[in-house]
């Protein structure tokens, strides 16, 4: 089980709810993924009047936990205000904190992120910060009161997979007791398995599932990949070698002359 702010979660796959072709396809994908947590943007839920209300009804019918996010925020004030509004709308202290610093890469503004995280944790929020794989930033976020970190492995929606394996491995090693959820940049189930094999606790996906030809089938594939990677890490992976190692013992073989 995965423990997030005192809540036990069985599924290690978190799912975003944007960009799906239709509500029915979103519902099918969420069910196929087995997820217990979905992220929802306050701006999406509030937009469009009646359509926003129908979307919120659909999310509630999924029977999963809601993780509101501050997607699209670029300043501390904007992110904090959005988080406060999300707490009122969704009736939860959980918040995925995003403070975007670059329009092209959607890279987090880590300075503003730490400041906003400190404000929100002081107000009783359970903050899930979308951050980079930087060790110093991770330290500052933990000092600010965060108990979960959500590092990216590549820019949002890029589907390139982990671009800095060494940094991700280092992050895992430096914070062995902190839940780490890879957020953003995964495009294939094999990439999800790869980061889980590094010892990460979960992954959050959106584009890779929502934009797939068959979102429900892709969601199921990611669920299996995440589970496989998690089990492989805890089973104990064999380290790569530069030389061959015979699987059949040489000692004791019969000698023919």
Kindly list the catalytic residues: 96
Contacts 24+ apart (CB under 8 A), 132-139: 132/107, 132/108, 133/164, 133/167, 133/168, 133/170, 133/171, 134/110, 134/167, 135/170, 135/171, 135/174, 137/110, 137/113, 138/171, 138/174, 138/175
d(CA 229, CA 235): 10
d(CA 91, CA 141): 24
Q: Which residues pair with 35 in a beta bridge?
A: none
């Amino acid at each position: 089980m995965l423990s997030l702010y005192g809540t036990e979660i069985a599924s290690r796959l978190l799912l975003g709810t944007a960009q799906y072709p239709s509500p029915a396809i979103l519902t099918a994908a969420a069910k196929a993924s087995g997820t217990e947590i979905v992220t929802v943007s306050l701006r999406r839920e509030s937009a469009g009047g009646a359509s926003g209300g129908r979307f919120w009804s659909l999310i509630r019918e999924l029977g999963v936990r809601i993780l509101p996010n501050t997607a699209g925020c670029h300043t501390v004030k904007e992110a904090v205000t959005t988080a406060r509004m999300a707490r009122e709308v969704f009736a939860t202290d959980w918040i995925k904190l995003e403070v975007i610093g670059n329009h092209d890469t959607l890279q987090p503004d880590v300075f503003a992120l730490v400041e906003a995280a400190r404000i929100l944790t002081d107000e009783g929020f359970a903050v899930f910060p979308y951050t980079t794989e930087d060790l110093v930033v991770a330290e500052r976020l933990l000092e600010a009161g965060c108990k979960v970190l959500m590092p990216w492995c590549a820019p949002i929606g890029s589907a390139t997979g982990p671009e800095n394996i060494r940094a991700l491995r280092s992050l895992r090693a430096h914070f062995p007791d902190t839940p780490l959820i890879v957020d953003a940049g995964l495009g294939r189930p094999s990439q999800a398995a790869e980061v889980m094999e590094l010892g990460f606790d979960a992954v959050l996906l959106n584009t890779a599932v929502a934009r797939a030809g068959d979102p429900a089938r892709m969601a199921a594939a990611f669920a299996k990949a995440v589970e496989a990677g998690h089990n492989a890490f805890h089973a104990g992976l064999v380290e790569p070698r530069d030389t061959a190692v015979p699987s059949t013992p040489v000692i004791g073989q019969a000698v023919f002359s």
